[in-house]
């Protein structure tokens, strides 16, 4: 086992923020920190993870509102999402205000990600897949060795991401799941943006929105 993962649900939205720790180096990353900064830092400390970066799957407030605060507090870079989500991050203050969410300033990630990129956590490498549909710039991270993926709001246990937000696209989302994610392997466990983990195989068999029986 080369990584340790702790999932910390944050904010009233109960969004899954993951802390990934490289067991070889002790260095770690936060995936989608939407809020509750102190809880996240305490969880990282309990794991013994030295945080070195923040990874974002997409630009919705419940997944990135605490990213810039943590970047400034820890002095670490933000990597992701894909640049088509810039309009979401630019409007963070407005979305937070409309939703009654704690204020968050707009920010620019240190690195936008694209299909085929990789990101590192300590000595570990995660592959990056562009999976638009929920948002146009949504990305997914895969640790191929440990067969685990962070899929944000693309796919859930028994459900899929909403596509009624600006620039959401249902057909594009289905294609991202069935043509990009499912071919990676039935055995891959995924951490969704909300709710329990599942596997791509389980969703191919039983998810009413994307199962093989619906599209086969």
**pLDDT by residue (tens digit) across 148-178?**
999 999 999 999 999 999 999 999 999 999 9
Q: The domain containing residue 44 runs over which residues?
A: 3-215
pLDDT above 90 covers a percentage of the chain that reads: 95
User: With 80 as the cut, is the pLDDT of residue 216 above it?
Assistant: no
Q: How many domains does the chain have?
A: 1
Q: How far is CA 38 from CA 25, 65, 120, 141, in A?
A: 23, 14, 24, 24
**CATH number, domain containing residue 126:** 3.60.15.10
**pLDDT over 80 at 143, yes or no:** yes
Please, which residues have CB within 8 angstroms of residue 167's CB and are 6 or more apart in sequence? 84, 87, 135, 136
Q: In Å, what is the CA distance from 86 to each residue of 5, 56, 109, 113, 168?
A: 28, 12, 9, 12, 14
Question: Could you read off the pLDDT of 75-102 as tens digits, one per residue?
Answer: 999 999 999 999 999 999 999 999 989 9
């Amino acid at each position: 086992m080369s990584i340790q993962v702790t999932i910390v649900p944050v904010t009233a939205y109960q969004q899954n923020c993951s802390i990934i720790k490289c067991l070889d180096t002790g260095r770690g990353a936060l995936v989608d920190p939407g809020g509750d900064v102190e809880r996240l830092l305490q969880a990282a400390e309990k794991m013994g993870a030295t945080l070195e970066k923040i990874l974002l799957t997409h630009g919705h407030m419940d997944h990135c509102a605490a990213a810039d605060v943590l970047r400034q507090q820890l002095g670490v870079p933000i990597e992701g999402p894909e640049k088509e989500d810039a309009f979401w991050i630019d409007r963070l203050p407005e979305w937070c205000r409309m939703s009654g969410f704690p204020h968050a300033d707009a920010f620019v990630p240190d690195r936008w990600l694209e299909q085929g990129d990789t990101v590192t956590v300590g000595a570990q490498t995660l592959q990056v897949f562009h999976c638009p549909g929920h948002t146009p710039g949504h990305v997914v991270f895969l640790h191929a060795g440990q067969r685990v993926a962070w899929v944000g709001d693309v796919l859930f246990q028994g459900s899929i991401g909403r596509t009624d937000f600006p620039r959401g696209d249902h057909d594009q989302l289905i294609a991202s799941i069935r043509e990009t994610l499912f071919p990676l392997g039935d055995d891959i466990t995924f951490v969704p943006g909300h709710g329990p983990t599942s596997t791509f195989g389980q969703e191919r068999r039983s998810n009413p929105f994307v199962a093989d029986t619906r599209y086969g």
